[in-house]
Structure 1
Amino acid sequence: MLNIIKVSNDQQFNEVGAGIIAGLLQSNPRAILGLATGSTPVGVYSHLIELYKQGLVSFAKAQSFNLDEYIGLAADHPESYRRFMNEKLFNHVDIDLMNTHVPDGTAADPEKAAQEYTRMLEDAGQVDLQLLGIGHNGHIGFNEPADELQANTHVVELKKDTRAANARFFNSIDEVPTHAMTMGIASILKSRQILLMARGASKADILARALTGPLTTQCPATLLQTHPNVVVLVDEAAGGRLS
């Protein structure tokens, strides 16, 4: 079931997104959160930090698993997703860093590290809320369009357009890693609830395709249609083609 929430400005977007996460933690302090990076959730995380400072939410008993990480970037690299999460959320709330998990982009054996990440996910239990963005080509996590999709955490070669879209965070596209480690589609779909977030007119077409088009591995986000509990949070521009 898809529950589409349209908001009119960034403040509402951040408040609604943070409210969904905070509400979960208030009802289930031991919740397992599936977290995402990128520009879309930054404001949501910032609002969560404010709620924490106000004493309205605690992460002390929660666990988190991030969707993905670049291969080859150390945890302290300015564009690593581990550093992103530390700077945008973890360092400012009461979560135990030992309970935060991000794929190891510098593992000597990335394939083995991916298998270990899958094992950690399975041992932890079902993710209560999985945050997602959506790529312009329909990727979720770094599950790129392909003839076949991987079920579990795996190493993926990034598409040229994905690297181009992420180049804005680097000095040039040449610095954007060519590979990443990502949770697989099955791992994402096992979550109890999914929160898909999108902003801006550039996401309107792919979002409409993902939520209303035919299921296809060439647009991995279409597989979200098979999940029983998806909340779609969009601004007016991104949701312009959604009823």
Structure 2
Amino acid sequence: MKIVRAKDYYDMSRKAANIISAQIIMKPDCVLGLATGSTPIGTYEQLVEWYKKGDLDFSSVTTINLDEYRGVTKEDPHSYYYFMREKLFSQVNIDLSRTYIPDGMDDDAQHACRFYEEIISRCGGIDLQLLGLGHNGHIGFNEPGTAFEARTHLVNLTEATRKANQRFFADDENVPRQAYTMGIKSIMQAKKIVVVVSGKDKAEALCAAVQGEITPNVQASVLQLHNDVTIVADQEACSLLEV
């Protein structure tokens, strides 16, 4: 596991984007696993900037997103489909038919999860997976206690996770209670993993993930077992890490 210490959020975003852009340049038809949430936004903005300068070409790239709220349509501004379209897909030359996000409107959970795993397999697996880090150490929507062996599955979101996402919704009642997410086993099969972490409020979670015991109670701790993980974190997020 490699830890890249960044000065601030902007520096973190640029350093993470550097790793992703290198992957695209080295393998133009690569498969990128993408994350949503506030932390990766700066990374996507940097990638868009480099694309507009002519430094990146997304035309052969395939993307597979981590998760999606259940019961939320693609047109809903709260959906991760909408998020990805606004933050990245509509601003680069990516082929939308090669972008995959779980179908939040599929009421058959078994079908939705099995179908998504088939997509990952059909694409040949993920070359580089981008992750954020939850306050409780979760990655994707894999809540504490979820088995490491889980593949794509339906999650009942904890109140802590729903509260963390409440700022994106009008009120608490509108925050979805379930989501489809790639499981830890699916994430760990990515060839390379990049985690972006920003802010003092993530310092405890990062410390537990990097220097604590490997336990399902801190889902990100399993990343210690992967052979190619780079964590890009700003100074505040790194404040509790041993030198």
Pairing 1:173-188 to 2, within 5 Å after superposition: 173-188=172-187
Q: How many matched pairs?
A: 242
Equivalent in the alignment of 1:104: 103
- Cα drift, residue 147 of structure 1: 5.8
Distance 1:41 1:57 in 2: 18
Q: TM-score, normalised by structure 2?
A: 0.97
Equivalent in the alignment of 1:139: 138
Q: Is the 8 A contact 1:62 1:99 kept in 2?
A: yes
Pairing 1:60-99 to 2, within 5 Å after superposition: 60-99=59-98
Equivalent residue letter for 1:183: M
Unaligned runs of 5+ in 2: none
Q: Is the 8 A contact 2:64 2:120 kept in 1?
A: yes
Moved over 4 A (4+): none
- Cα drift, residue 222 of structure 1: 0.6
Equivalent in the alignment of 1:235: 234
Bigger mean CA deviation after superposition, 4-13 or 181-190: 4-13
Residue by residue over 1:41-98, the C-alpha shift from the partner in whole angstroms, topping out at 9 and shown as x without a partner, is 1011011001000110111001000000000110010110000000000000010000
Equivalent residue letter for 1:14: S
3-state secondary structure, aligned to 1:142: coil
Equivalent residue letter for 1:222: S
- Cα drift, residue 151 of structure 1: 2.1
Q: 1:59–1:202: structure 2 CA closer, same or farther, 3 Å change rule?
A: same
Unaligned runs of 5+ in 1: none
Distance 2:126 2:148 in 1: 20
Q: Is the 8 A contact 2:148 2:185 kept in 1?
A: no
Distance 1:110 1:3 in 2: 36
Pairing 1:210-229 to 2, within 5 Å after superposition: 210-229=209-228
Distance 1:39 1:125 in 2: 28
Distance 2:96 2:103 in 1: 15
- Cα drift, residue 149 of structure 1: 4.2
